[in-house]
């Protein structure tokens, strides 16, 4: 018998408005979105279409004007402590070393000092930064900072990963490398992910499903299932004909939006 799968994140008819003194911007309107248990969902869309806003609502940092977001069936009302956010700009503490940055969520959780240290060292080894634990963020390259931010989120070990263009500012080569490492780690961890990106290839290579958004106000335009087996080779998968076909479809879908917007 088929059971209705319990969604990790369920967003229904979500509308979000930003109201400043004079203007009111509708960032999202009537957005429906779900992320299943252990599912990897990517959202692509033009910049300013409300992708970050969507994550803010899912994390409980922002209250919607209408509609609701549920985590494990419970309406999200304020920060829940079960989601981990990877911010667009890393959000590392510049005055803390790599070690302390990764230690932060463990310290907040109240682990003992020695447990914190063991866990931090394990995670830093996992992301290949063992030798850099005494460095400050300023001394690291963009890719290394991303690894620290990822290690910190892994340290928190959330049920749902919310990732806001985490590899955005990296150069193409580093991007692929980190994406590959992240995919490998994720395939072992198997937690639910809502991943924001503007890179279609990255979205397909990582995800089970790709959601396309249109802008002003942000709406869900289309969804694409990614039926590529796992574990997948993050880079080589791009030469697969199914990948190419999907890429073409998503590209067309997004281009359509721009034409309409341009008129």
Ligand X SMILES: Nc1ncnc2c1ncn2[C@@H]1O[C@H](COP(=O)(O)OP(=O)(O)O)[C@@H](O)[C@H]1O
Residues forming the site for ligand X (CB under 6 A): 18, 20, 25, 27, 47-53
**Which among Mg ion, ligand X, another protein, none contacts residue 235 (Cβ within 5 to 8 A by kind)?**
none
CA-CA distances (angstroms) from residue 150 to 50, 96, 102, 125, 159?
23, 16, 9, 12, 14
Q: Which helix or strand (DSSP H or E) is residue 51 part of?
A: helix 51-59
**Which among ligand X, Mg ion, another protein, none contacts residue 27 (Cβ within 5 to 8 A by kind)?**
ligand X
Question: Is 45 within 8 Å of 51 (Cβ atoms)?
Answer: yes
Q: Which residue has the tokens 């990897």?
A: 40
Q: Does 191 interact with another protein (rule: CB under 8 A)? A: no
Q: Which residue has the tokens 């620290």?
A: 148
**Near another protein by CB under 8 A: residue from 36, 37, 46, 61:** 61
Comparison of 52 and 174: residue with beta carbon closer to ligand X: 52
Q: Does 107 interact with another protein (rule: CB under 8 A)? A: yes
Q: Which helix or strand (DSSP H or E) is residue 147 part of?
A: helix 142-156
Considering only the stretches 3-11, 87-95, 117-125, 247-255, report the one whose residues sit in contact with another protein under the rule CB under 8 A: 87-95
Question: Is 101 within 8 Å of 152 (Cβ atoms)?
Answer: yes
> Hey, which residues between 50 and 89 contact Mg ion (CB under 5 A)?
52
The token pair that represents 84 in the structure block: 């981990």
**Which among ligand X, another protein, Mg ion, none contacts residue 136 (Cβ within 5 to 8 A by kind)?**
another protein
Comparison of 101 and 197: residue with beta carbon closer to another protein: 101
> How many residues contact another protein, by CB under 8 A?
24
Please state the closest distance from residue 62 (CB atom) to another protein, in A: 10
Q: Where are the beta strands (DSSP E) in the chain?
A: 7-19, 24-36, 40-44, 66-71, 74-75, 83-86, 160-164, 192-197, 209-214, 219-225
- Which residues sit at the interface with another protein, rule CB under 8 A? 56, 59-61, 79, 81, 83-85, 87, 89, 91, 93-96, 104-105, 107-108, 136-138, 156
- Which residues sit at the interface with Mg ion, rule CB under 5 A? 52
């Amino acid at each position: 018998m088929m059971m209705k799968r319990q969604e990790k994140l369920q967003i229904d008819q979500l509308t979000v408005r930003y109201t400043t003194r004079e203007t009111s911007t509708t960032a999202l309107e009537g957005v429906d979105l779900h992320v299943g248990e252990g599912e990897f969902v990517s959202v692509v869309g033009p910049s300013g279409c409300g992708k970050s806003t969507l994550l803010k609502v899912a994390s409980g940092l922002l209250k919607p004007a209408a509609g609701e977001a549920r985590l494990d069936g419970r309406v999200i009302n304020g920060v829940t402590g079960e989601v981990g956010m990877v911010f667009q700009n890393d959000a590392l503490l510049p005055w803390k070393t790599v070690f302390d940055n990764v230690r932060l969520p463990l310290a907040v959780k109240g682990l003992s000092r020695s447990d914190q240290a063991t866990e931090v060292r394990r995670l830093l080894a996992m992301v290949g930064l063992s030798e850099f634990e005494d460095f400050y963020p300023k001394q690291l390259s963009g890719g290394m900072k991303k690894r620290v931010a990822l290690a910190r989120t892994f340290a928190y070990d959330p049920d749902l990963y919310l990732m806001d263009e985490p590899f955005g500012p990296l150069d193409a080569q580093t991007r692929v490398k980190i994406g590959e490492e992240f995919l490998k780690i994720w395939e072992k961890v198997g937690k639910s992910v809502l991943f924001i990106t503007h890179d279609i290839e990255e979205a397909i290579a990582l995800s089970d499903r790709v959601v396309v958004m249109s802008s002003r106000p942000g709406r869900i335009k289309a969804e694409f299932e990614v039926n590529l087996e796992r574990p997948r080779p993050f880079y080589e998968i791009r030469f697969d004909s199914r990948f190419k076909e999907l890429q073409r479809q998503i590209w067309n879908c997004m281009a359509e939006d721009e034409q309409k917007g341009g008129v």
